[in-house]
């Protein structure tokens, strides 16, 4: 696939191929100018560029996914001596859930496969009887604006009819519309769902055919039941040209599975998560102190900030320490600039950021360029292909140096009996292949680079959306305040999230992820012929369109999807949601209904229901989803503990209303910035409770800091 909608269709959060923006000495990926709204002319140019490439993406794509990286079985890393108490049990729950489902499916799996491949169209279409209909969130716009609610029509094909299909002309028209919309392809998918149904075939006369899927049951089929047939995903040629099939994003097959398992380890290990919690706590509190000091310097005692800008600085610092124990010092640089108008960025950090920013910028420019043209430009020395390779080579060289230093640090610790993992790189430097050899540096850097890109912008955007709604909704802010006050003035931690002390705050985070998904699409490619439960025939190389954005705004799953309502995620609401999905799955069969209800309730509780997919779904979903949820919840609770938030009132930035102006490149970004006001709480929430009980509390053990490299 070779175009910018292709880019939006084919990238996961782990991709590093993005546009960039300059922020306080660091051009931050996935966003736009910090603190200053771009002109309409510049926005128009950006959208026209997307439009010009949009039609090419699906029309001319013939790739069948990337080749696997070199296969070397990873035996594993030396594991931490500590065991996970909460996240590990959650992970085990997922495994038990899958095993139980596999056992439940064992009796009818053969029958399902036979039905999936049979040529009897009439019998295949009978499976559609009783299936719940489809619609688009535009049907609920009237309700959102206080007008009369419109019922969503049932658009399921009747028994014996053909599954719904979009012809090639209509498809191209939809692509043009999507190219002109800042959200991109999900808008077309929502239109198709309203017009045709939640699973729609797409005829493409000059490229691979597609199937657009919003039906949770069929998403489950693609991402779980028959995931082996849909494990490949699209990546731009520019990405593979530079990365060389390394990392979690650029690899496939056994190599990808092994590296995903390795990279997931610190995010489900209790010791590592404690270190990460300390990092998140320290970084967000540092930023809060900067904001507090800035407020004291203003006569009115408060400030207006572009929270999109500041959140990216916090999360870049966090992911640097979490990924490879490196301190980008962005919070310190921001404080120096904001409070003293000083620039304090070291040469070492500048070199890394310059290479990182340059790679991202050029990659964004070459995103739609086909592989043969890239190779020709590189050979002739034209364009920016050689510059891209040079920038990435510098970045990889610096990364290799950091890896070498970390190998020595970890070796010394192991010799002293310390087998703990303080960052992701600690896991990777101890990993070995099937012959017992340590993994090469380029393998390690590919993984680190992916995790850093994935964990930076996505978490920052969620934190931004959270505070936007807190600032606009006093009731939401009040309910978070009530939870945070019970902490007694101490800083919120991951433990508070995991142990249920910040349940409502977590629901706010989850609702933000539903309505403003970090990624808009997570498409897949079919490896072999198949027949979907909808009756659609799939050929090898066909494109399966899956969208976190569109699924989060599907009115058949979410009532009034344009409304921001954290109470969707209460236990009672989730049970009702599970029963609703179970009814659709059971297809009015009373014997299957109760079994389906229990199954869907377990899935909802585990976050694996295939209706809520902000981090993708299936084997290639985001490995850091749980960590991102913990981080965003902790950051939100800390911010509300320290400040009262409100709408921006500086008289300069226009109020956007209840919908944030967004666009998607590879992840969500905010072209206008997100401005709000903040006023310090004096004292911090819960401080009175802390003072009254301090005399009876035992002294707390000091936290061990994460060793960092500067």
d(CA 111, CA 225): 13
584 CB neighbour count, 10 Å cutoff: 20
Residue 622, marked binder = yes
Query: Using H for helix, E for strand and C for coil, what is the string for 478-515?
Result: HHHHHHHHCCCCCCCCHHHHHCCCCHHHHHHHHHHHHH
Please give the radius of gyration of the chain, using alpha carbons only, rounded to the nearest integer: 25
Token digits of residue 403 = 């890896």
Beta-ladder partners of 669? 663
Cα-Cα-Cα-Cα dihedral sign, residues 274, 277, 283, 288: negative
d(CA 259, CA 619): 12
Q: Is 709 exposed, middle or buried (0-12, 13-18, 19+ CB in 10 A)?
A: middle
Q: What is the DSSP letter of 63?
A: -
Measured CA to CA in angstroms, residue 266 lies from 338, 413, 626 at distances of 34, 17, 11
- Pairing mode of beta strands 675-680, 643-647: antiparallel
d(CA 134, CA 216): 11
d(CA 153, CA 378): 53
What are the respective helix, strand and coil percentages of the chain, to the nearest 5?
Answer: 55, 10, 35
SS3 273: helix
Q: CB–CB of 185/520 below 8 Å?
A: yes
Backbone angles phi, psi at 325, to 5 degrees: 55, 35
d(CA 627, CA 618): 17
Q: In 60-140, where does DSSP find H-type helix? A: 87-106, 109-117, 121-126
Token digits of residue 133 = 């209909």
d(CA 50, CA 702): 51
d(CA 362, CA 388): 6
Q: CB–CB of 190/138 below 8 Å?
A: yes
Cα-Cα-Cα-Cα dihedral sign, residues 662, 663, 665, 666: positive
d(CA 179, CA 95): 40
Q: Which residue has the tokens 């009731």?
A: 475
Q: Which of 153, 203, 220, 188 is nearest to 550 (CA)?
A: 188
Count the residues in the chain. 710
Beta-ladder partners of 212? 200, 545
Q: Which residue has the tokens 């297809």?
A: 587
d(CA 555, CA 136): 6
Q: CB–CB of 331/317 below 8 Å?
A: yes
d(CA 387, CA 365): 12
Token digits of residue 673 = 């910035």
User: Which residues belong to the annotated binding site?
Assistant: 622
User: Which residues belong to the annotated binding site for heme?
Assistant: 622
């Amino acid at each position: 696939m070779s175009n910018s909608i292709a880019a939006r269709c084919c990238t996961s959060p782990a991709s590093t191929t993005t546009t960039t923006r300059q922020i306080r000495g660091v051009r931050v990926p996935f966003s736009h100018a910090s603190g200053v709204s771009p002109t309409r002319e510049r926005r128009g140019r950006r959208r026209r560029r997307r439009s010009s490439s949009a039609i090419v993406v699906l029309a001319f794509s013939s790739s069948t996914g990337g080749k696997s990286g070199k296969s070397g079985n990873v035996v594993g890393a030396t594991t931490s001596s500590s065991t996970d108490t909460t996240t590990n049990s959650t992970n085990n729950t997922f495994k038990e859930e899958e095993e139980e489902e596999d056992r439940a499916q064992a009796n009818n799996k053969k029958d399902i496969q036979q039905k999936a491949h049979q040529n009897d169209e009439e019998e295949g279409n009978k499976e559609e009887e009783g299936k719940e209909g489809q619609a688009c969130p535009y049907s609920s716009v009237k309700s959102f604006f206080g007008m009369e609610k419109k019922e969503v029509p049932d658009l399921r094909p009747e028994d014996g009819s053909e599954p719904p299909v979009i012809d090639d002309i209509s498809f191209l028209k939809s692509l043009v519309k999507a190219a002109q919309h800042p959200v991109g392809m999900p808008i077309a998918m929502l239109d198709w769902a309203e017009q045709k149904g939640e699973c729609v075939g797409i005829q493409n006369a000059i490229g691979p055919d597609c199937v657009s899927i919003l039906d949770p049951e069929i998403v489950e089929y693609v991402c779980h039941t028959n995931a082996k047939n849909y494990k490949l995903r699209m990546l731009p040629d520019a990405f593979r040209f530079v990365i060389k099939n390394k990392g979690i994003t650029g690899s496939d097959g056994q190599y990808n599975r092994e590296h995903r398992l390795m990279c997931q380890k610190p995010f489900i290990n209790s010791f590592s998560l404690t270190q990460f919690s300390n990092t998140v706590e320290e970084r967000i509190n540092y930023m809060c102190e900067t904001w507090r000091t800035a407020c004291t310097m203003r006569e009115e005692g408060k400030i207006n900030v572009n929270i999109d800008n500041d959140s990216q600085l916090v999360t870049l610092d966090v992911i640097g320490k979490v990924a490879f124990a490196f301190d980008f010092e962005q919070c310190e640089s921001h404080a120096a600039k904001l409070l003293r108008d000083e620039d304090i960025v070291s040469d070492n950090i500048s070199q890394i950021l310059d290479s990182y920013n340059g790679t991202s910028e050029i990659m964004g420019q070459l995103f739609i360029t086909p592989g043969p043209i890239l190779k020709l430009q590189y050979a002739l020395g034209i364009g920016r292909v050689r510059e891209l390779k040079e920038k990435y080579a510098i970045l990889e060289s610096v990364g290799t140096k950091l890896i070498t230093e970390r190998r020595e640090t970890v070796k010394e610790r192991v010799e002293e009996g310390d087998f703990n993992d303080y960052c992701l790189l600690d896991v990777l430097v101890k990993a070995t292949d099937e012959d017992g050899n340590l993994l090469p540096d380029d393998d390690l850097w590919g993984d680190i680079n992916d995790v850093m890109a994935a964990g930076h912008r996505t978490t920052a955007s969620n934190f931004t959306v959270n505070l936007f709604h807190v600032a606009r909704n006093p009731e939401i802010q009040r309910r978070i305040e009530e939870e945070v006050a019970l902490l007694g003035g101490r800083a919120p931690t991951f433990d508070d999230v995991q142990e249920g002390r910040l349940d409502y705050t977590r629901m706010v985070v989850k609702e933000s992820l539903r309505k403003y998904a970090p990624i808009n699409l997570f498409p897949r490619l079919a490896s072999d012929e198949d027949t979907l439960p909808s009756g659609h025939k799939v050929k090898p190389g066909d494109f399966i369109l899956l969208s976190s954005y569109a699924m989060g705004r599907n009115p058949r799953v979410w009532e009034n999807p344009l409304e921001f309502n954290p109470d969707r995620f209460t236990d009672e609401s989730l049970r009702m949601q599970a029963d609703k999905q179970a009814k659709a799955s059971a297809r009015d069969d009373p014997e299957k209904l109760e079994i389906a209800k229990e199954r869907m309730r377990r899935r909802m509780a585990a976050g694996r229901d295939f209706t809520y997919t902000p981090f993708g779904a299936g084997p290639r979903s985001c490995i850091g989803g749980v960590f991102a949820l913990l981080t965003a919840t902790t950051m939100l609770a800390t911010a509300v503990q320290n400040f009262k938030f409100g709408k921006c009132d500086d008289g300069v930035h226009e109020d956007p209303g209840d919908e944030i102006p967004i666009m998607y490149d590879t992840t969500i970004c905010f072209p206008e910035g997100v401005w709000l006001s903040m006023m310090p709480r004096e004292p911090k929430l819960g401080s009175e409770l802390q003072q009254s009980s301090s005399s009876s509390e035992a002294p707390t053990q000091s936290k061990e800091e994460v060793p960092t490299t500067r």
